[in-house]
Amino acid sequence: MDGVPDLAAGAAVLAAALREEGVEVTPERSARLVGAVILRRPRTRDQLYVTARACVVTGRAQLPAFDRAFARLLDGVWDPADSRGDPSNPELDADQRAGRPAPGARSQPRGGDASPPQGWAPAASRTADGELRDEVLAAASTTERLGERSFSSLDPGELARVRALIAAFRLAPPLRRSHRRRPARGGDRVDLRRTVRASLRTGGEPAELLMRGRVVRPRRLVLLLDVSGSMEPYSRAFLHLLQGAVAGTHAEAFVFATRLTRLTRALTGRNPEAAFQRAAASAPDWSGGTRIGEALAAFNREYGRRGMSHGAVVVIVSDGWETGDPDLVGREVQRLARHAHRLLWVNPRAQDPRFAPLTGGMAAALPHVDRLLSGHSLDALADVVEAIAA
């Protein structure tokens, strides 16, 4: 967004000013400040002051230095007491109210020029009632801009940055109560063996009933990714989600085009690049045709019988283009939905306002799907993560 100050640059300017005043500001605090300003979007000077102080100030002794740096950068004047509403502070004269430095006051950072710091609202950027103008806080960070763009429109550099952001997603499947029990306070069943053993210390009288309760565990997560030619703009981004799911939640990962390939073992490990190379070598039909029905039939036949999909959250990522029999897709999706806890279908084409599930595979599968999502961008992928945890 041309002409709009960058919040990251503003945070760097404030951090540099604080260091001049002797306040240590780590890169972590600077990043926290940028994130907080983007999240809260303060509209007034006081809101911005409170947000910035909460992010970078770690002790009462740092407050005077923070006030001086903040007032100098935002107002162009040295007026720390006024920023906290100190009633004993002397009133500003007309020049100072207009944002012009008083005689003898420093109005710029040491060694800097008189231009306002990029990224923060100078006095001229505020309205008469002290409200920050929209154009100052409308600056979107690089992450925000990438979050709204479709994966299919990103260049290689942007796609590499998006992949790093996808790796930060943390999938959290819903919890379930297993059939196993363990000692637990407030359990629903008496643990006779432990209760009798404990009664030996009290002469055979059970002074306390010890209980057992159900073990709570996350549900299994199963992801099936379409890597056919029509999914090429999206499949490589989703492969990073699969790698994070395998590493973080012990999920089961599969890809399919003309046949089904299990990638769980290939995606295991802490080195994403090595995992992706192993995954590419394991799936020779990458960017080939699409046989969704046959791939789902192979999954139900080889892995569904073993109980992999029973009570699991199953996520199918595909645009629904089927070169085989659409009726087979419908039957296999229905079979899979009967065993799964939830069945989610992620179709990147669904974000198009003109989208209609008219393709053979998508139309046959949709009646048996719990939820249809797009997942075409970072923001849409966040919806997929929330739907998995629902």
Q: What is the CATH number of the domain that holds 306?
A: 3.40.50.410
Confidence (pLDDT) at 103: 43
Domain assignment present for 36:
yes
In this structure, are 212 and 226 located in the same domain? Answer: no
Q: Give pLDDT tens digits for 79-128.
A: 434 434 444 444 444 444 444 444 444 334 333 443 434 444 444 444 55
Q: Give pLDDT tens digits for 2-32.
A: 333 455 566 667 777 777 777 777 766 777 7
In this structure, are 183 and 41 located in the same domain? Answer: no
Residue 331, pLDDT above cutoff 90: yes
In this structure, are 280 and 325 located in the same domain? Answer: yes
Best-predicted range by mean pLDDT among 168-172, 175-179, 233-237, 297-301?
A: 297-301
Domain assignment present for 155:
no
In this structure, are 107 and 188 located in the same domain? Answer: no
Number of domains in the chain: 3
Domain assignment present for 266:
yes
C-alpha distances out from residue 58 to 50, 53, 324, Å: 13, 9, 63
Residue 279, pLDDT above cutoff 50: yes
Put simply, whether the predicted model's pTM sits higher than 0.85 gets the answer: no
In this structure, are 226 and 209 located in the same domain? Answer: no
In this structure, are 268 and 200 located in the same domain? Answer: no
Domain assignment present for 160:
no
d(CA 310, CA 388): 16
Confidence (pLDDT) at 260: 92
In this structure, are 191 and 95 located in the same domain? Answer: no
- Average per-residue pLDDT in the chain? 76
Domain of 210 in residue numbering reads as 178-217
Residue 232, pLDDT above cutoff 80: yes
